Every structure is written in structure tokens, then in C-alpha cells.
Chain A
Amino acid sequence: MAAVRTSAEVAGNRVAIVAVLIITLIFLAPIYWIVSTSFKPRNLSTTIPPTVVFTPEVSPFVKLFTKRSQLREQPTPEEYEAAPWWERIVFDGGEKVVRDGKGNVQWSAYPNRFMNSLIIAITSTVFAVSMGTITAYGFSRFKVKGEGDLLFFILSTRMLPPVVVAIPMFLMYRTFGLNDTHIGLIILYTAFNLSFSVWLMKGFIDEIPKEYEEAALVDGYTRMEAFFKIVIPEAATGIAATAVFCFITAWNEYAFALIMTNRRAQTAPPFIPSQVGSGLPDWTVIAAGTFLFLLPVAIFTFLLRNHLLRGMSFGAIRK
């Protein structure tokens, strides 16, 4: 930019700043609405006009985690007094917490689905990133016959529409009893992320000068030692970024999970929409579940901000 600015340029910049602010607010409005709804009392979640100012409550989260049933009769004052704070919240909403024969509180299905999501996303990420890293090293450092074709083959497996792959996988999993199992989804997500991980890691490893390892080889390291002691530490940032991307992809995935699981291994993305049955859904509880589910990804997005470009372009575009 020129050192001396005309008044028209300054005015143009001001207009741009205002426009950017307005656009940012519009883009964040749906996310703000999810977060704010998850702290609203139920009767304020669907009002006209929409409620913007309210006293935040944690009742949606209490309801999210507990199994509840309609109150037939009001609790006695003694019962109410004896109940812990979160149970009183449920009483206040005209419901009671379901307990088993021994008086243990029954949890809702949400924590279970959330755990399934965590287990499946983390395990598949570990597999995809470790396999992806060594394969990327192989492609980066050695001559591979038909390298371009192999890399295209690897990438094309990632581009397949989930529903297309899911039809034969469903039939095969049925034969092997893998439908609705954690291991079944872990395999699918590993395969899905592996291609991405190879492409992204190849970019990161290409950037590490070959001379580092070659120097180590001269110093008496074996190729394996050089890989583990020099390449892996140098590629640590890339590995971390790749892992976060794989985690987010597996965490967010919907179509495979919808088709391949229904209870035992169901993850949160197919579970959360399934709560919206017939009748009026309690949007505060759905918002609470959504908020907790989106939170890890939002945090990761901030941690990953400098690698987003690279990750989203499969390593093709670097800053």
C-alpha cells in the first residue's frame, strides 16, 4: 500500500471494517443461538419475539444427563428438601429423575453416545495418523513406482461418497457381526482419514530437509533410528495438526454412523437428531447436547487456526 493514503481509501477501509463486523455477527448468530438456548429455561426457548436477555440456567444440562419421567404428584416438602440441587431443578420442571431399584440415578443415553464418539474418534485418529505418517515418509523419501497414480488412488478413496461405500460395508459387516460395534466404525473412519493423513503428512515431511537424516545416517544411525529420532520430532507439529483434523472428521461424521450403528456403538451425530421425535421437542436439551458436542471442535479450531488452510486443501496450499 502507498504510504500516503487518500481520504477515499480511508473511507473505503472504514466501510470494509463495518461490513466485516456485520458479516461476522451474522455468521456467529446461529452458534450464539445454540449456546444461549442451552442455558435457557424451557419456556423461553421458543418465544415470540425470541428471548435474548434472560437469566442463564443449567437446567438443560441436568436434563441432558438424566433420565426423567413426568411427575404424577408433587413431591412432598421433605422429599424436595432431601433432594440434591440438580434433582430439585428436575422437580421444578414438573418431572422426576428415574431411579433403579437400588435408588441409583439413571443416566440418559447422551453420556454413553458422547463416550462412543470419543472412543471411536480417538482410536481411529491414532491409527490413521500413525499409518499415514509412515506412508507419507515412504512416499517422500524413497522412489516409488507409479507414485502419482498411487497417491491419486489414495486420495480417491477419501472422495467416495459415504453412502456408496456404506452399502457393501453394511453387507460385509453383517456377515462378520461388525454392525453396531466400535471396531466397525473405527475401521471405517481409519480408512476414511488415512488418505487425508497421507496427503497432509507428505507435505509436512517434504518440508523437513533430507540432509538431517542423511547426516544422522553418516553418524551411524540406522534408517529406522533416523526416522524415529529425527523425522518424527521434526514433524511433531504436522502430526499434531493432522491428528486434530482426523479427530474432527471422525467426530463430525454422520452418514456412516447413521447406517452402521443404532445403539451400542452409536455416536453423538446420529443420536442428537434422533431425540427430536414427534411433538414439541425440548430445544434447550438439544441445544445443551449440541453445545457440549461442538465445544471440543471449537477449541480445536482455535488451536489449529494457522494450519486450517493447509488441512482443508489436503496440504496443497501452504502459507
Chain B
Amino acid sequence: MGRERALATAVMTTLDPKSRAASRGMSDIAIRNLFIIPTIVFLIVFNIFPLLYSLGYSFTDFRASSPAAANFVGLQNYRELLNDPFIWTNFAITAKYVIVSVVGQVIVGFGVALLLNRDIPFKGLITTLLLLPMMLSMAVVGLFWKLLYDPSFGIINYVLGLGRFEWLSNPDVALYAVAITDIWMWSPFVMLLSLAGLSAVPKHLYEAAAIDRAGTLYTFFRITLPLVAPILMIAIIFRTMEAFKTFDLAYIMTSQPTTEVISIRLYKMAFQEWQTGRSCALAYIVLIMVLAITNIYVKYLNKVKER
């Protein structure tokens, strides 16, 4: 089989395959269009068109709950939103959530990856078990964390000996409680990417460092960290983006005003207060922020890919 292929490849180099292929069946260009265009059209119809639709609504006072027609109000929605201190509070809450959960995930995830990057028995099995949380449904597992956090019979208070400490109904703590659950779910993601980065560090660098009697800290900051940094950066940007968009966990676990991240505000504005026009404007503000982060993310993806 292998020899046949090699032979065929050798023959092929003397012939132009494209002209032969073009003479039978569909041309390559027709196939390329047939394979690519439907997907692009599908994504335009179901992602871009709706966004244009909501861009139009963002300049109106439309309310989906009332039969009244939409009135054009120009930039009023945007002006009001950007001057609304409550919206900025939601953004501030989101920023706090992003920082706490991403920093937590990096510390835990990278830390565990460093521990796992040695001769550990059953390493494969342990790694897979540790990755389990990130594969599960945030909404369904988040719901169950309510039982774990329960002040009277939750196991968290019992194990930590905190008595009847309120986690989710305490406005000062609730956001951190949600972030802890997020850290539990997504540290494995950082760990997974860090492990890939760590395993790619050439062993001879460590051997050279050992010969030079370099200290552990020196080796870590001069060899390990710089080489893992690009992949770690991907993990950080991706998690930042996801934490910025977060909805499920905070929505399921608490209903405190202090945990109202921007997605929850948007959801309430659109589907509970039915301020459709205004929510479309807010959606656009969020969208531009997400696209900015996506852009950075893709740049890093391509950078790592080239290596």
C-alpha cells in the first residue's frame, strides 16, 4: 500500500493533477465554492443578519412586549447607557469577577500543572479526572454548588468549620463564591494548556541549568516561565473572554445585585424588563468589547501555531 502510494506520488509529479481532475467531475473551483460558501452563508444568515437586525433596533425605543411600533430615537439609547452609573457598576462587577476568577484559575491551574509535570504514578488517569469539571454543564453543576454552599447543611461550611457562614446570600461574598465555582470548573483548562507548554520545554535546558548549578527559582523564571508563556497567554485571554461573557453560573447560583454581571443585566433588560431597543444598544457595546478581545486571542493563536 505504502509503496503503491509512493509510486503514484512519483508518477503524479510528472503530470499536472489539476488538469486531469478538471477534465473529470467538478472543477476544483466549483468544489471549493460548494464546500465553503454554504457555511459562510449559514453563518451570515444566522449570526450576522440578526446582529444587523438588532443594530437597527438599537436606535429605537422598541419594546417586544408591546404592540406599539418602534420609534427612531437616534443615539439616545447609547447616550443613556454610557451615562448610566448602574451600567458602569455592572461592568465593574464583571471586571472584578474576571480578575478574581482568571487569576485564581491561573494560580491553581498552572500550579497543578507544575506538580503534575513530574513522575507521578497514574498521571494520565489523574489528569483526565482533574479535567472532568470543565466538561460539565455550568448551569447544572452550578445549581448543585448551591447545596455545597448551603449555610446550614452544605459540606463546604462543614469541612472548613465555618458554622453558618452565608456564601451566596451575602452580598459581599456572593461574587467570590461564584468565582470559586468558576475557578473549580476552569482551572483544569489552564492546567491542560500549561501541561502542553511544560512538556514542550526541551529537557536539555534543565540539564544545562543543573550543570550550572542554577537555583530552582532561577530555572523557573529563566527557563520554564518564558517558554510556557505563549500558551499560558492563550489560556489567559480565552478565559478572560469567557469570564467577561459569563452568565450561567452567576445567574443560577445567586440573585444578588452585587453579582449582576453584564450578561445578566443584558438578559434582564431584554427579557424581563422588555426594553428591547435599549438592550440591543447594550448588546452592541458588549459585542465590540468581545470582538476586541477575540482579535487579540486570534493573534496569539496564530503566533503559537507558527512555532
Contact = CB atoms under 8 A, between A and B. Distances in A.
Interface stretch (A61-69, A79-87, A305-313): A305-313
A72 B29 CA distance: 74
B139 to A, nearest CB: 4
B130 A27 contact: yes
Contacts of B143: 272-273, 276, 286, 290
Chain B, interface residues (CB within 8 Å), range: 35 or more
Taking each of A20, A160, A161, A162, which has the highest tally of chain B beta carbons within 10 Å of its own beta carbon?
A161
Contact of B118 (A13, A165, A251, A273): A13
Given A142-B32, A163-B266, A223-B25, A20 B115 contact: yes
B47 A157 contact: yes
B51 A168 contact: yes
Interface in A120-177: 131-132, 134-135, 137-139, 141-142, 144, 150, 152-157, 159-172, 174
A183 to B, nearest CB: 12
B47 to A, nearest CB: 4
A50 B155 contact: yes
A164 B266 contact: yes
B21 A161 contact: no
Interface stretch (B76-84, B97-105, B170-178, B189-197): B189-197
A47 B128 contact: no
B275 to A, nearest CB: 11
A241 to B, nearest CB: 13
A302 B248 CA distance: 25
B193 A309 contact: yes
Given A150-B40, A155-B298, A165-B50, A30 B135 contact: no
Contacts of A153: 40, 43
A161 B290 contact: yes
A1 interface: yes
A314 interface: yes
Given A33-B155, A172-B53, A218 B25 contact: no
Interface in A171-222: 171-172, 174, 187-188, 190-191, 194-195, 198, 211-212, 214-220, 222
A308 B131 contact: yes
B221 interface: no
Interface string B263-276: 10011001100001
B218 interface: no
B65 to A, nearest CB: 11
Interface in B21-63: 21, 24-26, 28-29, 31-32, 34-36, 38-40, 42-43, 46-48, 50-51, 53-54, 57
B71 interface: no
Interface in A9-44: 13, 16-17, 19-20, 23-24, 27-31, 33-34, 37
B115 A161 contact: no
14 contacts: A16-B115, A20-B120, A23-B130, A135-B36, A138-B31, A141-B32, A159-B297, A161-B263, A190-B42, A222-B25, A283-B147, A298-B132, A298-B135, A305-B127
